[in-house]
């Protein structure tokens, strides 16, 4: 991992009690460059948010997914085009078909909680 890797949070919430919002905060505290993705929101936790994955610029180390499998199924092409090194499917965001497509494209996939991974040094 580079000294300041880019982590995209798909389904980031502006609500502080949501896990996706907590992930944005903890990733930022840990020194990552965080890009929240949430349509119709200008910023989350003081960071500029984008509405779609197509708006994410540059190389992406990790995409952490906080949207349901039904939602991410419609984003398969955009996720493949983003070409992150790794995709984390958080609890409730599992999508076996998308995971198969990502693995076939050479993208590492993990089914785990980003917050737990960060808290235990596994991120």
Buried/exposed code over 56-91 (b: 16+ C-beta within 10 A; e: otherwise): beeebbbbbbbbebeebeebeeebbebebebbbbbe
Q: What separation in angstroms does the CA of 80 have from each of 22, 25, 60, 64, 95?
A: 26, 26, 12, 14, 14
pLDDT above 80 for 78: yes
pLDDT above 60 for 1: no
- Going 82 to 20 to 61 to 4, the CA torsion angle's sign is positive
pLDDT above 60 for 61: yes
- Please tell me the pTM assigned to this model: 0.96
Tokens of 89: 């499917």
6-119: CATH class:
alpha beta
pLDDT of residue 20: 98
Residue that the structure tokens 């997914």 belong to: 65
pLDDT of residue 4: 72
Residues in Cβ contact with 42 at an 8 Å cutoff, skipping those fewer than 6 apart: 48, 49
Mean pLDDT of 6-33: 97
Dump pLDDT digits (tens) for 83-117. Answer: 999 999 999 999 999 999 999 999 999 999 999 99
Mean of pLDDT over the chain? 96
- Going 57 to 62 to 67 to 73, the CA torsion angle's sign is positive
* Residue ranges per structural domain of the chain: 6-119
């Amino acid at each position: 991992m580079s000294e300041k890797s880019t982590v995209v949070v798909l389904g980031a919430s502006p609500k502080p009690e949501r896990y996706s919002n907590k992930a944005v905060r903890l990733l930022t505290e840990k020194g990552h460059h965080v890009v929240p993705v949430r349509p119709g929101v200008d910023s989350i936790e003081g960071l500029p948010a984008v509405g779609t994955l197509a708006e994410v610029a540059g190389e992406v180390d990790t995409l952490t997914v906080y949207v349901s499998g039904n939602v991410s199924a419609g984003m398969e092409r955009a996720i493949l085009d983003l070409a992150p090194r790794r995709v984390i499917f958080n609890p409730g965001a599992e999508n076996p078909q998308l995971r198969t497509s990502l693995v076939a494209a050479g993208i590492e996939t993990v089914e785990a909680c980003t917050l737990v991974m960060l808290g235990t040094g596994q991120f």
